[in-house]
Amino acid sequence: MTTPLGWDRHREGVARLLSSYAAIPTGAPVRLRKRTSNLFRPREQVEAGLDVSGLDGVIAVDPVARTADVQGMCTYEHLVEATLAHGLVPFVVPQLRTITLGGAVTGLGIEATSFRLGLPHESVLEMDVLTGSGEVVTTRPGEPLFDTFPNSYGSLGYATRLRIELEPAPAYAALRHVAFSDSGLLEKAIAEVVETGEWEGQRVDAMDGVAFAPGELVLTLARWTDEAPHGGQPSDYTGSQVFYRSLQERESDLLTFHDYLWRWDTDWFWCSAAFGAQHPVVRRLWPRRLRRSDVYHRLLGLDQKLGISRRLDARAGRPEPERVVQDVEVPLDRLGEFLTWFDAEVGMRPVWLCPLRLRREAAPGERPWPTYPLEPGTTYVNVGFWGTVRVGDGASEGPTNRAIEAKVSELGGHKSLYSEAFYDAATFDRLYDGPHLAAVKQQHDPDGRLTSLYDKAVHRR
């Protein structure tokens, strides 16, 4: 069990961070020094950077106020372990165990509770941020630094502490897998759940889905419960069974709440198949403790470093692949249009579907989170797709990714920036409110010590 480390150790971690900042030569870029990342765009490794080794834990949990003070580099795996000990859970827990709270807030996170509880940064009550000027600033909702921080990816600074809201955690998640043969019917079902919080008379606490094929779409509706329905035994998808396949095989299911939170992590959604980890023989031999998204991420990085797949493709005469690893948000009423276009132009299945709505309201014409300007009162669907498309010559120019970016913008959506982006500067500034971001950055990083968002996302610096 993760034991909260307390305020004294937190202050020690912050002091170590500030000492490492002071050791970076004046004028040199300020970057994190860390070994792991959930980013899917290349980034330069640094030897002399910010020491965040003392900022990866839970400081304190207040079960009465239902809040937790958490360090920025704390993974959700450790955060959830600490809060579940008090029967509580963060409002939104992203799918992968090693995503950090600070990363989910500065880089955006999402999960199946997002249709009713928004995005992770919307449950933050206050946070401390190390800015480019070397100051740790406490900021709260409504202040420019706080409101611009989501989707800034470290260009405004790094969160050292975040105070977040928690909600009661159940013992189980009872699931219903509802199949649809038409995206229009799926859109109507999502709209009904968002409006009523129910489906066929039963409460819905979490909702996501998978599009397996144009006529095979499954919406998974989860209901929190402290009692196993009809005395049922919860399923276990950390062993020989693979969770995403169960959506096609059964209409209902039961998971412990802990296993529900990490249902996608064991197989990195479905991407573990690329390493053979879903083959029955390989699965028996692959240690269960190593069936984790971070292990697959390291294997992928090793393959890219050594060029193994590239050499095998060249030897077999296969067209050069383009990596297409993206999450995009499109308005619910344009989902079917996007999927039809995606099937014709990209052809990658399955894809993940996760409805969301912002919690925070705003005055007409205003956007509550300017750096990722989704519209309040609008239901969006996150569409996640992760793999490669064989395009031949010119794959390095990202033709498929560029086409996706253009289509998402055409449909009034937005694209997350954890992976490659190919926008020109003017388009990027228009989509992510570049002038506002630059103004906030000038206030808190006047010497430009932190890499700009455009340089991080597009130039991959």
Digit-coded pLDDT (tens) for 178-189: 999 999 999 999
pLDDT class of 37 with cuts at 50, 70, 90: low
Q: State residue 58's pLDDT score.
A: 98
Q: Is residue 296 part of a domain?
A: no
pLDDT class of 301 with cuts at 50, 70, 90: confident
CB-CB neighbours of 97 under 10 Å: 19
CB-CB neighbours of 48 under 10 Å: 12
Q: Average pLDDT, stretch 158-169?
A: 98
Q: Is residue 2 part of a domain?
A: no
Q: Average pLDDT, stretch 379-386?
A: 97
Q: Are residues 225 and 192 part of one domain? A: yes
Q: Is residue 292 part of a domain?
A: no
Q: In degrees to the nearest 10, what's the CA dihedral of 453, 299, 90, 79?
A: -110
Q: State residue 77's pLDDT score.
A: 97
pLDDT class of 309 with cuts at 50, 70, 90: confident
Q: Are residues 255 and 189 part of one domain? A: yes
Q: Is residue 299 part of a domain?
A: no
Q: Average pLDDT, stretch 329-334?
A: 98
pLDDT in tens, 111-123: 999 999 999 999 9
Full domain range(s) for residue 104: 7-169+451-457
Burial of 154 (0-12, 13-18, 19+ CB in 10 A): buried
Q: Is residue 233 part of a domain?
A: yes
Q: State residue 1's pLDDT score.
A: 64
- Residue written as tokens 């189980």? 172
Q: State residue 311's pLDDT score.
A: 83
Q: Are residues 182 and 151 part of one domain? A: no
Q: Are residues 114 and 17 part of one domain? A: yes
Q: Is residue 443 part of a domain?
A: no
Q: Average pLDDT, stretch 148-162?
A: 97
pLDDT class of 39 with cuts at 50, 70, 90: low
Q: Is residue 298 part of a domain?
A: no
Choosing from 205, 234, 263, the residue where a domain stops is: 263
pLDDT in tens, 57-106: 999 999 999 999 999 999 999 999 999 999 999 999 999 999 999 999 99
pLDDT class of 38 with cuts at 50, 70, 90: low
Q: Are residues 160 and 181 part of one domain? A: no
Q: Average pLDDT, stretch 429-453?
A: 96
CATH number at residue 47: 3.30.465.10
Q: Are residues 163 and 46 part of one domain? A: yes
Q: State residue 62's pLDDT score.
A: 98
Q: Are residues 149 and 251 part of one domain? A: no
Percent of the chain at pLDDT above 90?
82
- Residue written as tokens 């500034």? 429
Q: Are residues 193 and 58 part of one domain? A: no
Q: Are residues 178 and 164 part of one domain? A: no
SS3 sequence of the chain? CCCCCCHHHHHHHHHHHHHHHHHCCCCCCCCEECCCCCCECCCCCCCCCEECCCCCCEEEEECCCCEEEEECCCEHHHHHHHHHCCCEEECCCCCCCCCEHHHHHHHCCCCCCHHHHCCHHHHEEEEEEECCCCCEEEECCCCHHHHHCCCCCCCCCEEEEEEEEEEECCCEEEEEEEEECCHHHHHHHHHHHHHHCEECCEECCEEEEEEEECCEEEEEEEEEECCCHHHCCCCCCCCCCCHHHHHHHCCEEEEEHHHHHCCCCCCCCCHHHHHCCCCHHHHHHCCHHHCCHHHHHHHHHHHHHHCHHHHHHHHHCCCCEEEEEEEEEEEHHHHHHHHHHHHHHCCCCCEEEEEECCCCCCCCCCCCCCCCCCCCCCCEEEEEEEEEEECCCCHHHCHHHHHHHHHHHHCCCEECCCECCCCCHHHHHHHCCHHHHHHHHHHHCCCCCCCCHHHHHCCCC
Please say whether the beta carbons of 376 and 301 come within 8 A: no
- Residue written as tokens 């500067």? 425
Does residue 212 have a pLDDT over 60? yes
At position 222, the amino acid (one-letter code) is A
At position 186, the amino acid (one-letter code) is L
CATH number at residue 407: 3.30.70
Q: Are residues 127 and 41 part of one domain? A: yes
Q: State residue 36's pLDDT score.
A: 59
pLDDT class of 304 with cuts at 50, 70, 90: confident
Tokens of 96: 């992968």
Q: Is residue 159 part of a domain?
A: yes
Of the candidates 144, 121, 120, 186, which has an alpha carbon nearest to the alpha carbon of residue 339? 186
Domain count, the chain: 3
Q: Are residues 190 and 253 part of one domain? A: yes
Q: Are residues 135 and 21 part of one domain? A: yes
pLDDT class of 35 with cuts at 50, 70, 90: low
